[in-house]
Chains A and B, each alone.
Chain A
Amino acid sequence: MAERRVEHVMGMPVVVDVRDAGVGADAVDRVFEWLRFVDATFSTYRPDSEIRRLDRGELALRDAHPDVREVLARCERLRVATGGYFDARARGPLDPSGLVKGWSVDRAAALLRAEGACRFCVNAGGDVLVRGGPWRVGVQHPHERGRIAALLSLTDAAVATSGTYERGEHIIDPLTGRAPSGALAVTVLGRDLATADAYATAAFAMGERGPAWTARLRGCGAMTILAGDRVVSTRRFRRHRLPLGGAASAPTPPSPPACGSPPSWRP
């Protein structure tokens, strides 16, 4: 039996859609158990979370959960890799949320694979990981409300969009402390959601300079919608695009590969 479920966790709805016939409710239960653990451990809203206790100096880093140490170390590597544009302390207090969402979905995907799932999709508040495929993934247009800006065919991939879509999502430029200008939205696709999401956040904060930076990323594709509706995308991104508007007449995608076949992801 296939299984599809949504729960509100980590401050957003998370949709888990497993298409494998042999994978059922138990596997999806475990995914949401994992995400609730992540929420309790990493939440910046819960005073008793490890992140808040670390920030108040009540918990030493060496005593923190290994997952917390892993995430914070990765945040630091990303801060360096993005020239400071991805910064878990952009606002002052420790806030690794920009990595935690993608990282926890990547771990959830590993969990589902271990349960025998090969064809599934996890959508965490608009950031998406797919395994198996191909999946047709629309990129919401940032201000033309009834439209998608691009349609992608993705297999074994992750795609994250940063921009002005999401209520409550307020990215700031860590270097100036102000809201970035120049870009309306940045979509990054890659193999894992943690990286795609962090790079999308950083590229959005870079504004006009984002596209040049995303063009140099290894293993990722990106599309940036700049003010004035200029759209800049990398070759890797365009490789996954399907024609828009002609969805009904597009060629039928190949049938999904069998589980265990080599990953089809070619950046």
Chain B
Amino acid sequence: MRAVLAALVVTAVIIVLLVSYDTRPPRRANPESALRTPAPKVTRRPHPPGSRTAEGRMFNTPYSRIQVLATVYRGRLIDVRTTQLGGNDTHTNALNARAEPILREEALRAGNAEIDVVTGATTTSLMWIEALQSAMERASRG
């Protein structure tokens, strides 16, 4: 479980870099701007029977609110969705539009990577990883 999680650090970095073209984060989170993830354009395969889905706890930073939904099947992360990302609308929209396909793909490949920690990772990606860990723990507990 931890190896899978660690492997996703790099993915989270991708996403944050994708959306972080403004250099100054908003001074405080605007709770109104937290959006539910819109329905994805790609068709999802249904989760296999016996898989478990859980939403992790909400992580707050001065700049953002992050919450993640994880689906675990036989101890392995098979799906992840960012359900809350407060902050500014540009970030929220960009993340919703771009993150999910990347995360889905990366999650499926993650089994082999063995990285404990990444130096140079961004602030938001660190929080995103914690949000994912929380969701995975809840999904694994059932």
Contacts and interface: CB of A to CB of B under 8 A. Distances in A.
Contact of A137 (B17, B25, B119): B119
B119 A136 contact: no
A104 interface: no
A180 to B, nearest CB: 16
B95 interface: no
A227 B3 CA distance: 32
A146 B11 contact: yes
B89 to A, nearest CB: 17
Interface string A152-171: 00000001110101111010
A206 interface: no
A222 interface: no
B117 interface: yes
B123 interface: yes
Q: How large is the interface on B (under 10, 10 to 19, 20 to 34, 35 or more residues)?
A: 35 or more
A137 B133 CA distance: 19
**Which range holds the interface residue count of chain A?**
35 or more
A128 B119 contact: yes
Contact of A167 (B20, B113, B115, B126): B20
Interface in A167-181: 167-168, 170
Majority secondary structure, A binding face: strand
Interface string B99-126: 0001000100000111111111111101
A247 B130 contact: no
Given A6-B130, A167-B20, A146 B119 contact: no
A170 B115 CA distance: 28
B90 interface: no
A123 B127 CA distance: 12
Contact of B127 (A6, A11, A248): A6
Given A8-B61, A126-B120, A139-B118, A148 B126 contact: no
Contact of B118 (A146, A148, A168, A248): A148
A62 interface: no
B43 interface: no
B123 A167 contact: yes
B97 interface: no
B9 interface: yes
Interface in A116-148: 121, 123, 125-128, 130, 135-140, 142, 145-148
A187 interface: yes
Interface in A188-204: none
B94 interface: no
Contacts of A212: none
A14 to B, nearest CB: 9
A126 B124 CA distance: 10
A15 B124 CA distance: 12
A123 B17 contact: no
Nearest to B118: A138
A93 interface: no
B78 interface: no
A140 B13 contact: yes
A193 B14 CA distance: 25
Given A138-B10, A145-B13, A248-B112, A8 B119 contact: no
In the complex, the 3 A-B pairs of residues with the closest C-beta atoms, listed nearest first:
A140-B120, A161-B120, A248-B112
27 contacts: A8-B60, A8-B61, A13-B123, A13-B126, A123-B117, A125-B126, A126-B122, A135-B116, A136-B116, A137-B118, A138-B9, A138-B118, A142-B120, A146-B10, A146-B14, A147-B10, A160-B119, A165-B120, A165-B121, A166-B120, A167-B20, A167-B25, A167-B122, A170-B23, A187-B119, A247-B114, A248-B112
